[in-house]
Amino acid sequence: MHWVFLSLASAFFLATSDALAKKAVADQNEYLVAWFRLVFTLPLLIAALFMIPFPDLDADFYRAFFIALPIELVTIILYIKALKASPLSLTLPFLALTPVFLIAVSYLALGEAVSVAGGMGILLIAAGSYVLNIEEVKKGIFAPFKAILREKGSQFMIAVALLYSITSSMGKMAIEHSSPVFFGAAYFIALNIAYIPVGLYMGRHDLKVFIRGKRYISLLLPGLFYGLMIIAHMEAIKLTKVAYMISVKRTSLLMGVLYGYVLFREKNIRGRLLGALLMFAGFVLVVIAK
């Protein structure tokens, strides 16, 4: 059961990194925050790369790697925008939508039908997204769903979940044609390099103040925890099925809601925690159904 501990550790590191990044991004340029959180993962990733054997790489690895990379770049930006725009308790739970999007893609592309468990999981995720905004129900029965359309952070995270359904498929292919730790380290090092022009351009008006004022220091811990998340994630994947590992890791949704209350005193926490629990349960059903 070593993989369970590693998966829970990965969830904790991710939720902690997100909470600390949200704190840092409150009054900072979000593109610079996203950039420096990535930069501070480099020491761990480079060290990991030198501690493992270099696998033989084939055309399938490079194809998956370079298809996923630009999409991942977009998710990094949308993710940090979500953290800046809205409460953690209204953004992170929407990551549970990723397997739903995967089911939809499989159905449209391959005609694969949704199982009973998968259908129940989708209904639970829908119910959870409703409960997240349950305080809106006094404005009408459909008001909680309409609230999602007003909450920019929720919309950004839904887009992230959709894009993750693509990058996770590409990542699985790349891992099968290399090794988990090698892929994780090489992928995020490449992501650091790819982000440089984005960070320089989108942060050009704030970069001097950001550097001179040493504001990047606030991203040291988020970057460290993000790097630890990557390592724990890849180590866990080696030990069990990807679906099982991701199911445990998605407890980060619940941790994120709790961080939202503890660090940011976000309101309506009971409803949002219940919504997150429903979405997590739906996520597990969908993953198991696959």
Q: What is the pLDDT of residue 108?
A: 65
Average pLDDT, the chain: 90
pLDDT of residue 141: 78
> Is the Cα dihedral 61, 114, 275, 3 positive or negative?
negative
Q: Which domain holds residue 35?
A: 2-289
pLDDT at 215: 92
Flag residues of the chain having pLDDT under 70: 105-114, 290
Contact 30, 84 (CB under 8 A): yes
What are the start-end ranges of the H helices in the chain? 2-25, 30-39, 42-50, 59-85, 88-91, 98-110, 116-132, 143-150, 152-176, 180-202, 207-212, 220-239, 242-249, 252-264, 269-289
Neighbours of 28 (CB within 10 A): 22
Specify the DSSP element, H or E, that contains 137. none
- Using alpha carbons, select from 63, 76, 3 the residue that is nearest to residue 36: 76
Q: What is the value of pTM for the model shown?
A: 0.89
Q: In this predicted structure, what is the pLDDT of residue 262?
A: 92
What's the pLDDT score for residue 105? 66
pLDDT value of residue 102: 75
113 — phi, psi (to 5°)? -80, 155
Count of domains observed in the chain: 1
The CA distance from 266 to 84, in Å, is: 14
- What does the pLDDT read at residue 56? 93
pLDDT of residue 195: 97
Q: How long a stretch of residues is the chain?
A: 290
- Predicted local confidence at residue 110, as pLDDT: 52
Q: Which long-range contacts (CB under 8 A, 24 or more apart) does 47-51 make?
A: 48/181, 48/184, 48/185, 48/231, 49/182, 49/185, 49/186, 49/189
